[in-house]
Amino acid sequence: MTNPLYDRLFAPLAARERALLHLADGGTVTGRAFLAMVHRAAHALVACGVGPGDRVAVQVAKTPGALAVYGAAVAVGAIFLPLNTAYTAAEVDYFVGNATPKLLLADPKGEAALAPVAARHGARLLTLDAQGAGSFADLAAGQPDSFAVAPRSPDDLAAFLYTSGTTGRSKGAMLTHGNLLSNAETLAQVWRFTEADVQLHALPIFHTHGLFVGTNIALLTGGEMIFLPGFDLDTMLRLMPRATTMMGVPTFYTRLLDDPRFTRDLAAHMRLFISGSAPLLAETHVAFEARTGHRILERYGMTETNMNTSNPYDGDRRAGTVGPALPGVEVVVTDPATGTPLPPGEIGMVEVRGPNVFKGYWQMPEKTAEELRANGFFITGDLGRFDADGYLTIVGRQKDLIITGGFNVYPKEIELILDDQPGVLESAVVGVPHPDFGEAVVAVIVPKPGQTPDLAAIEAALGAHLARFKQPKALVLAEALPRNTMGKVQKTELRAAHAARFAR
């Protein structure tokens, strides 16, 4: 039996003498050297008692050594569990208690706080820091450079990714070798990645975007990565001329546009800019194209499925949409109450079926049954609509739907109008409790730097475009919108902040 992910992503590195990773300090790691790191890390995992099917939880800085632990888990046949580096020990306690990993790998700075967590749940705790040092690195250093890879099938689990938990406890999405490999293969083809590509990689690797899209595609196609610990504007501008592609979240693009050093000449060598993990403002699309001549490619994915749709490589990349379904992936918009498919133009629940769709939620069979239909379609929780050409527009999460006076209000419809108003940088619309209407529409507006939006003029613009029941009952100015590490607006926080606004 083979090991699908290892065979396609890592085994080809054995004969690769050219660089795989280019580091911010100018150093490089060849493919062959990286594979040796993977093998030494795999031996270290085995020395910790990790075997096929065991979980390996990792909360460490982004380094070549951290990426090698991912490859090592694949080689051992273990299940890789990356954790957001911003999580507190209390938050990590839930994930470790739920996933019960054999090993918890942490930054030395967090060792004292995580020691009782690991002890409580029977995990061994080792460390790996931002320089690649620590007790795990010490254990791996003396191990052999070759490893007997564990056999795995496409249906075997390769990773757990936990959902953000905005509507309850986080759920561990179980992703198989087949899920991850099929998506990487499809995206590499659709986005035209080859061994000639150099990816400017500043995304975190605790998330599907940076790890299972960015790195998997580079490994699959034999490309190179400029592997940065995070987004640093000066470093991005300095190294972009050496790259051909970049994957980012919207804040990457707005920060680049805010700097006059980001010019058409600087981006001339680039082949493709991709954005995801949060919606990209139409204004950013327009400004980016005007500045660089490039049109950002926006796509749609999620923890449970990796990528589902993408604007085309060749053809019309439509701002505000996430494009048609990827090859081999079925996407439908259905009536949330009945599950009946809806025609183009109508808003409904986005459902997805394909080889990219996860196997279910770890130890949560009831949640799996609620969200994964017997026919294989996953109920995403996203509301969207197709246009006549098959381009999908995401209008929001079902939990963000506002029901005021018995009428449905989709926040995206209001946000698009607000974002077009003079002096408005961005906006977020939420529903909060109201004694008469059940919920009231509240709009939170972030002004452009140095500008003060005219709220009376904005109210007039909304009145000209929207039915009365859709119009916000309050317009609120804020310095910024709360976001998570991947740039998604945290509407739960906004609802909580304004929950008492209409209380009697």
Domain boundary residue among 152, 170, 186?
152
Residue range 44-73: average pLDDT?
Answer: 98
37 and 63, same structural domain? yes
Residues 340 and 292 in one domain: yes
pLDDT of residue 405 exceeding 80: no
Q: Which pLDDT value is given to residue 56?
A: 98
- Closest residue by Cα to residue 207 from 70, 359, 299, 84: 84
Domain identity same for 136 and 214: no
Q: How many helical (H) and strand (E) elements, i.e. helices and strands, does the chain have? A: 15, 24
> 17 lies in a domain?
no
Task: Using the predicted structure, report yes or no on whether residue 476 has a pLDDT greater than 50.
Answer: yes
- Mean predicted confidence (pLDDT) in 471-475: 94
**190 domain residue, yes or no:** no
Last residue of a domain, one of 152, 183, 215: 152
Residue range 493-504: mean pLDDT, rounded: 88
Is there a domain that residue 180 lies in?
no
The arithmetic mean of pLDDT across residues 82-95, rounded, is 90
Question: Is the domain of 223 the same as that of 93?
Answer: no
- Kindly indicate the confidence band of residue 108, based on its pLDDT and cuts at 50, 70 and 90: very high
Looking at residue 141, its pLDDT comes to 96
pLDDT, tens only, 345-396: 999 999 999 999 999 999 999 999 999 999 999 999 999 999 999 999 998 8
Which of 397, 429, 450 is a domain's end point? 397
Stretch 259-272: mean pLDDT = 97
Assess if residue 205 is contained within a domain. Answer: yes
Please check whether residues 355 and 465 belong to one and the same domain.
no
Q: What is the pLDDT of residue 164?
A: 63
Indicate whether 168 pLDDT > 80. no
Residue 355 resides in a domain: yes
- Are 292 and 408 contained in the same domain? no
21 falls within a domain: no
* E-assigned strand segments in 238-388: 245-248, 272-275, 297-302, 306-310, 330-334, 348-353, 360-361, 378-386
Which pLDDT band, with edges at 50, 70 and 90, does 167 fall under? very low
The count of structural domains within the chain is 3
Which CATH number is 210's domain given?
3.40.50.12780
Q: Are residues 388 and 424 in the same domain?
A: no
Residues 321 and 460 in one domain: no
Report how far residue 368's alpha carbon sits from residue 373's, in angstroms, rounded to the nearest whole number. Answer: 8
CA distance 381 to 392: 15
| Mean of pLDDT values over 456-463 | 93
Domain CATH number, residue 51: 3.40.50.980
Q: Which helix (H) or strand (E) holds 403?
A: strand 402-404
Give yes or no: residues 350 and 427 share one domain.
Answer: no
Residues 391 and 410 reside in one and the same domain: no
- Mean pLDDT across 247-261: 92
Tell me which of 244 and 469 has the higher pLDDT: 244
So what's the pLDDT on residue 443?
A: 95
The pLDDT score that the predictor gives to residue 306 is 94
330: Cβ contacts below 8 Å, ≥ 6 apart: 352, 353, 354, 377
- Answer yes or no: are the C-beta atoms of 207 and 277 closer than 8 Å: yes
CA distance linking residue 105 with residue 66, whole number of Å: 9
pLDDT exceeds 60 at position 468: yes
Please tell me whether residues 306 and 435 are part of one structural domain: no
- The answer to whether residue 441 is domain-embedded is yes
Does 442 share its domain with 306?
A: no
**pLDDT per residue as tens digits for the range 209-238:** 999 999 999 999 999 999 999 999 999 999
Q: What is the mean pLDDT of residues 147-155?
A: 97
Residue 136 pLDDT greater than 50, yes or no: yes
- Spatial separation of the C-alpha atoms in residues 385 and 345, rounded to whole Å: 6
117: containing domain: 4-10+32-152
The pTM is what? Answer: 0.86
Assess if residue 184 is contained within a domain: no
